[in-house]
Amino acid sequence: MSTIVVDNISKSFGTKKAVDGVSFNVEPGGVFGLLGPNGAGKTTSIRIILDIFKPDHGKVSIFGGAMTEAMKNRIGYLPEERGLYQEVTLEKCLVYLATLKGMNEKKSQERISEYLDQFNLSDYRKKKVKELSKGMQQKAQLITTLVHDPELIIIDEPFSALDPVNTQMVKDLLREQAKLGKTIVMSTHQMYQVEQLCDRIVLIDRGKTVLYGKLSEIREQFSGNEIILRTESPLPTQIPGINSINSENGNLIYKAHLAEGVSPQQILQYLLSQNIILKQFEISSPSLDEIFIQVVTKSGEHDA
């Protein structure tokens, strides 16, 4: 059973279509990436999944049914609009929010104190939330997301206010949660953050799904028309089957774009037949950023 089934949801605000017929499934376990540029409809989709907004069309099923009050305790949510009660102490704020997720007060205090240690926030537990920096507040909010040990974790732009050290820490934390068998839905526009984390992704642009599936399969789908070559001596300028070739700084590393219908294998055979000594022959796998730009610009042309 899929943890989340999003079935053809649409939502408009006034005349603007924020989400337009998006469908995807999130399977239990692992990290699912909800990707797209700013304003693509990621946050709106998450809000519909969490029953904060009702969709105009389509429906969402979560843990096999419609959202109920009891389900709220099984979900941890880090909203894009970060918010904690500013006028109370950090500890009080976290304990209150944890109890609202169905934890008893004593247990939540223990867990929060563990997390505060882990996040280097122990010194701030008696400080008012408003006295904390933005990054600290974000870490505190992450505690709120995880403290009740939810089965499903939905995080919207988790790295937005974090420095590299904290970004790495959060990534490790998410990996750890995924290892524990948690289902994680992570929304971000920073594709490079997702590559090492996500198993499956959906890419939304202007409210519509443009890519959906296993990250490795999507990569494969977009790879194969580019190869990376390293040689002993300079390559001939004309190689049959290669459209264009650039060397990086003239240091005998080449990036070659293949013509349509030509396989990397054919190029390899040709190079060997020419007695060219190869130090490296690699089918390049495009980064998500590259795929993203490729897909988004293509769909942009489509619209125009």
Longest dimension (CA), the chain: 74
Residue placing its CB nearer to other proteins in the complex, 82 or 230: 82
Backbone phi and psi for residue 294, each to the nearest 5 degrees, phi listed first: -60, -50
Nearer to other proteins, 46 or 197 (CB): 46
End-to-end Cα spacing for the chain = 39
Smallest gap, in angstroms, from Cβ of residue 134 to other proteins? 13
Smallest separation (angstroms) from other proteins to the CB of 234:
58
For other proteins, the closer CB: 75 or 198: 75
Which residue, 156 or 229, is less far from other proteins as judged by CB? 156
Shortest spacing between CB 64 and other proteins, in angstroms: 18
Smaller CB distance to other proteins: residue 44 or 209?
Answer: 44
> Least distance in Å: CB of 145 to other proteins?
9
- The footprint of other proteins (CB under 8 A) covers 47, 50, 52, 54, 69, 72-73, 75, 77, 79, 81-88, 96-97, 99-102, 144
**Smallest separation, CB 268 to other proteins (Å):** 53
